[in-house]
Amino acid sequence: MRTLYQFHGGVHPPTNKTQSTRTPIAPAPLPGKLVIPFHQHVGNMARPLVKAGNRVLKGQLIGMPEDGVSSAVHASTSGTISAIGMAVVAHASGLPDLCATLIPDGQEEWVTHEGMAYRTAAGADVRLALRLAGVVGLGGAVFPSDLKLRSGKHKIKSLVLNGAECEPYITCDDMLMRERAAEIIRGAEIMRFMLDAEEVLIGIEDNKPEAIAAMQLAAAASDDKMEVIVVPTIYPSGGAKQLMRILTGIEIAAGVRSTEKGMQCFNVATALSIYRALQFGEPLLSRIVTVTGNVRNAQNFEVLIGAPVNELVALADPLPDTNLYIMGGPMMGVPLPSAQVSVVKATNCIIAASDKLFPPPPPALPCIRCTRCAEACPADLQPQELFWFAQSKNFGKAQEYSLFDCIECGACSYVCPSHIPLVQYYRFAKSEIRALEHEQAAADLARERYEFRQSRIERDKQEKAEKLAQKEMTALAARQSAATPEAAADNSAQLRIQAAVEHAREQAAAARPKNIDTLTPRQQAEIAEIEARRAKAREMAHPDAGQPKE
């Protein structure tokens, strides 16, 4: 028997799982319209490859993954693309996102597809195939699976397959393991081969006896070392870090990746989609969705990606007092902005809610410092401290108290006697911190651009000045080199002439008549009279000559 370990905290909410496990998985009918978002995964949005009016085949690539972290998007069936535009998607914000609207033609005509021999193919080619098949984590994180299957610098000892499915109401993984255990195991073999893992550990909670038996039978038929491990039913044992702690006793500290500890974790539904993608070349076009809650016939359905939620819920016959739909479970799920949004890759459960099923919480009371939240926290945090910091917008202190280690499981809110919506405060603080970091990054980028522009202007000025100086020096050198002996002689003669003219002027100014030394007084008076008339004439000819200049 393998020794099991415990993680800190945890709670035991009512499971409410039997309602949707009474009947097998049923295929949902082909809807009249599919609205397929181009952003259904962690990372960058897929780039649209189709336009309105294009006819597409089932499995055809309609969204190309962009940059490093991204994944492909495909047409869920054959038909015509009626629009490419913004539409409200399955997100708590209610904001629209870019989507392709596909009108099915009912023919279900497949694009050409085939599997690949993953054992003889290059690892990069296998990961590319998964990337183009749009395979992402179906446990809720929707992280591109091809990125998790890279063989890094850390040796992977244990590949953990997560079949715990700890959150109340959700049973899609339970039914998948009951009905398709062999395909899940085939997917686990592919992942073990790609990661070169020594063992495969499959963790399933003890409230799923049928799934445990089916997985044990399928694992026994495999040539790989696989072990189905039954774990206690406690929420949130389905968290990746919590399940790895239970199975191996290894604690994954904050800021540490599981691969650094020799482990990698995948959801059982992800394993099946990896198998289908590589064995048959089938992209991720559908998934199992639990429809439960305030309905008459709770059940699991295999639903095409892009199918409207209201048409899916109608298959379970919702009761008249249904007033809200929740995507996910009651602990971590998000309320949908509309029943007209579409099923996406992250949609594992739709809960029809009513005031009778989920009564409105009473008004929040002041914190009484009972520490129940700290006792229940699986991440071993101090939720009451984080609440005060988030409430006072002291985001720096919240980060010091490891706010981003919170997995938002809702265990603290579940046990709080003051009915404080703690997780909502944590989400608010995280979003504000991310917004501030984004603004700071934008400001830093703007400053860098401004400084670069100023340095470029100064550099241009200096270069222009240097070019002008060089041009003047070149012109001067050209003039000097172009000067001929004849030109030099002409310049010399001109200088001599100018000097002679100046010398003549000086002599004329210094010259004095020699016949005026022995003049009689009468002659001198006549000369003076003549000079006076000359002066008068000059004055009349040039009246402004004697005026001072202003």
Q: Percent of the chain having pLDDT more than 70?
A: 94
Torsion of CA 32, 34, 35, 37, to 10 degrees: 180
- 121 vs 115, 124, 193, CA distance in Å? 11, 8, 12
How is domain 365-476 classified at the CATH fold level? Fumarate Reductase Iron-sulfur Protein; Chain B, domain 2 (1.10.1060)
Query: Residue 239: what pLDDT?
Result: 93
Q: Where in the chain is the domain with CATH 3.40.50.11540?
A: 18-27+123-353
Note the pLDDT of residue 474.
84
Q: Which amino acid is at 471?
A: K
- Report pLDDT digits (tens) over 412-427: 999 999 999 999 999 9
Average pLDDT, the chain: 91
Q: Is the pLDDT of residue 488 over 60?
A: no
d(CA 511, CA 475): 48
Give the mean pLDDT of 224-232.
Answer: 95
**Predicted local confidence at residue 196, as pLDDT:** 93
DSSP state of 337: S
Least confident of 9-18, 357-366, 460-469: 460-469
Dist CA 379 CA 280 (whole Å): 40
Greater model confidence, 499 or 70: 70
3-state SS assignment for residue 158: strand
Question: What pLDDT score does 332 carry?
Answer: 93
Percentage with pLDDT > 90 across the chain: 77
Cα(370)–Cα(190) distance, integer angstroms: 48
Confidence tier at 56 by pLDDT (50, 70, 90):
very high
Give CA–CA dist 101/82, Å, rounded.
Answer: 6
Res 485: pLDDT: 57
* Protein fold of 18-27+123-353: Rossmann fold (3.40.50)
Domain(s) of CATH 1.10.1060: residues in the chain: 365-476
Q: What is d(CA 367, CA 421) in angstroms, rounded to the nearest whole number? A: 11
**70-79, 157-166, 305-314, 521-530: least confident range:** 521-530
pLDDT digits (tens, 9 = 90+) for 428-453: 999 999 999 999 999 999 999 999 99
pLDDT exceeds cutoff 80 at 351? yes
Checking if the pLDDT of 309 tops 90, the result is yes
User: What are the tens digits of pLDDT across the range 196-218?
Assistant: 999 999 999 999 999 999 999 99
| pLDDT at residue 141, rounded to an integer | 86
Query: How does 25-43 read in b/e, with b if 16+ C-beta sit within 10 Å?
Result: beebeebebbbbbbbbbbb
For 503-529, the pLDDT digits (tens) are 777 776 666 666 666 677 877 787 788
Question: What are the C-alpha distances in Å from 505 to residues 99, 142, 485, 511?
Answer: 98, 104, 31, 10
| 80, containing H or E segment | strand 79-88
In this prediction, residue 513 carries a pLDDT of: 62
In the predicted model, what is the mean pLDDT of residues 156-166? 96
Residue 248's pLDDT band (cuts 50, 70, 90): very high
Q: Which residues of 140-159 are buried (b: 16+ CB within 10 A; e: fewer)?
A: bebbbbbbbbeeeeeebbbb
The reported pLDDT for the residue numbered 482 is: 66
Across the beta sheet with 286-293, the strand order is 26-27, 299-304, 286-293, 349-353, 324-327, 334-335
